[in-house]
Amino acid sequence: MDMLSLSSHKFYGPKGPACFNLRDGVPVSYAQTGANTKNYRRAGTHNTPGMSAGQSDGTRRESMPETVARLSDLRAHLVERVLDTIPNAALTGHPTDRLPGHASLVFKDVQSSVLLMHLDQQGIAASSGSACKIGDEKPSGMLEALGYGPELDARRSASHHGTPHHPAEIETVLSVLPDAVAAVRRIRAMTL
């Protein structure tokens, strides 16, 4: 490995702290330099309180196999039911070689912003792409490369302490999503 960067909020730590590993001998130019911190590789002072907060819960590592199995089962149930109950829905990517709490689904003839509004009104948080594409109505370049058009990439993520992490939350999504997709498709049909 030449370089590795990790942001702590991606694995249940606080926002802000991160780490960066650079193999000796790898050339790199720095956006900021200063003092002799980390052999002149970074400027500023470490966020010690933030880093300590990220270290405080040692139980996560011990419970990870159980958490991965639980989230994988919930994700599989969600995906199976969505594909069984919503016509012209598809799972993007591999069904099991993915993060345990992540499902990426596309729905033909559905405008993402309208569906997300319907889901939000029912208390369901979903997104139509990655955080770096917020506000961008264009389809995901990755989904287009996979052969999908302007369908919705409705990501549902579950986590150790986030939602949907409980079977009742999955059932709520499954009770709302088919009607929401149908409603958005009716709206689209009326505007064509």
Distances (CA, A) of 80 to 10, 76, 85, 149: 27, 6, 9, 22
pLDDT in tens, 65-94: 888 898 899 999 999 999 999 999 999 888
Residue 31: predicted pLDDT = 72
* Kind of pairing between the strands at 154-157 and 102-107: antiparallel
Domains defined for the chain, CATH in brackets = 3-55 (no CATH), 59-191 (3.90.1150.10)
- Residue 115 CA to residue 125 CA, distance in Å, equals 11
> What average pLDDT does the chain have?
78
**Do 50 and 16 contact (CB within 8 A), yes or no?**
yes
Which tokens go with 109?
């003839």
- Residue 95 CA to residue 155 CA, distance in Å, equals 14
pLDDT in tens, 111-136: 888 888 999 999 888 877 666 666 66
**Do 88 and 108 contact (CB within 8 A), yes or no?**
yes
User: Which pLDDT band, with edges at 50, 70 and 90, does 150 fall under?
Assistant: low
User: Which pLDDT band, with edges at 50, 70 and 90, does 165 fall under?
Assistant: low
Strand partners, 90: 106
Going by C-alpha positions, the residue among 45, 43, 3, 9 that lies closest to residue 26 is 3
Catalytic status, residue 19: no
Residue 177: predicted pLDDT = 94
Q: In which element (H, E) is residue 68 found?
A: helix 59-85
Catalytic residue among 26, 31, 131, 132: 132
- Residue 192 CA to residue 183 CA, distance in Å, equals 15
More confident residue, 92 or 44: 92
Q: What is the pTM of this model?
A: 0.69
